[in-house]
Amino acid sequence: MQYAYPLLAIFIWAGNTVITKMSAGAIFPAEIGFYRWLLAGLLFTPFMLKPVIAHWPAIRPNLGKIFVLGVLGMAVYQSLAYFAAGLTSATNMGIILSLMPLMSLAMAIISLGQRLTIGALAGAVLSFAGVLVVISSGSLGVLLEHGVNLGDAMMLIATLAYAIYSTLLKKWQLRLPPLVLLYLQVLVAVVVLFPLFLASPKVGPTLQNIPLVLYACLLASMVAPLAWMQAVVRLGPSRTTLFFNLLPLITALIAAVVLHEQLALYHLVGGLLTLGGVILSERWTTVLGRA
């Protein structure tokens, strides 16, 4: 039963990558990004006002840090993913997203003083090779000639933003209940994305895009984070993080069924290399330079 929580979160987030791809053409990126967090904020507010007031003495001195976390983790990361969805496939997005644990590990080594392991170094090389295979569609010559697809580049930046977010979350160790911190970051996303929403062209709510917004809000923004928090409590951070490795595989399978995306050999090779690199970095923990 304890494994149900991380699996539920991963399935929802994998589905959200497909939903993000489906949103391209159905609603403008700035619209769904804003509507998602606005609705989440409205639904959270009746339950979260009292806890926020109760924890205000701890919140007030950390408002700047909370703002940075909200910008990186909620606004930048997901907004870039919505813009990327119109330019690349959901399968590519899922594989690139699987670099996140490795990016977080690299930043922990740089900024948190974590020791560099042989696995981290070897895993970084292997995963980078895997992503190169995917974004080059299996032909490095084409990549060198034409460069990286703009959508894949946006997804790489989005993944980097979330990795920085995860690192800062560990570094700052804000002494706030997880739900309070999540709610405050949602409010930051609403404020930050509002000008972009105003300046963007709009389709408005339709029968086609309302279900996409509801999935992104109710499941990806509320249910999945709660399930992930429960998983961390029950399994611990390290064991829970391992489930993130399933994200590219589940995303690719859902995309193949729902979007009829064709799985090419380079997806398989790149995905396996990326996944192998992440697993290697987590399992081979011998510190570099130590016998």
Spatial CA neighbour of 274 closest among 119, 106, 124: 124
pLDDT-derived band at 288 (thresholds 50, 70, 90) equals low
Tell me the pLDDT tens digit for each residue of 159-185: 899 888 888 888 888 889 989 999 999
Euclidean distance between CA atoms 27 and 228, whole angstroms: 28
Euclidean distance between CA atoms 75 and 165, whole angstroms: 11
Looking at this protein, which amino acid is placed at residue 27? I
Spatial CA neighbour of 160 closest among 247, 96, 100: 100
Are 162 and 78 in contact by the 8 Å Cβ rule? The answer is no
Residue predicted with more confidence, 94 or 285: 94
Residue predicted with more confidence, 26 or 278: 26
Tell me the pLDDT tens digit for each residue of 117-157: 777 777 777 777 777 777 777 776 666 665 678 888 999 99
Q: Where is 28: in which H helix or E strand?
A: none
Euclidean distance between CA atoms 49 and 209, whole angstroms: 30
Return the CA Rg of the chain.
Answer: 19
Euclidean distance between CA atoms 83 and 80, whole angstroms: 5
Please tell me what DSSP assigns to residue 243: G
pLDDT at residue 237, rounded to an integer:
67
The mean of the pLDDT values for the chain is 84
Average pLDDT of the residues in 15-44 = 92
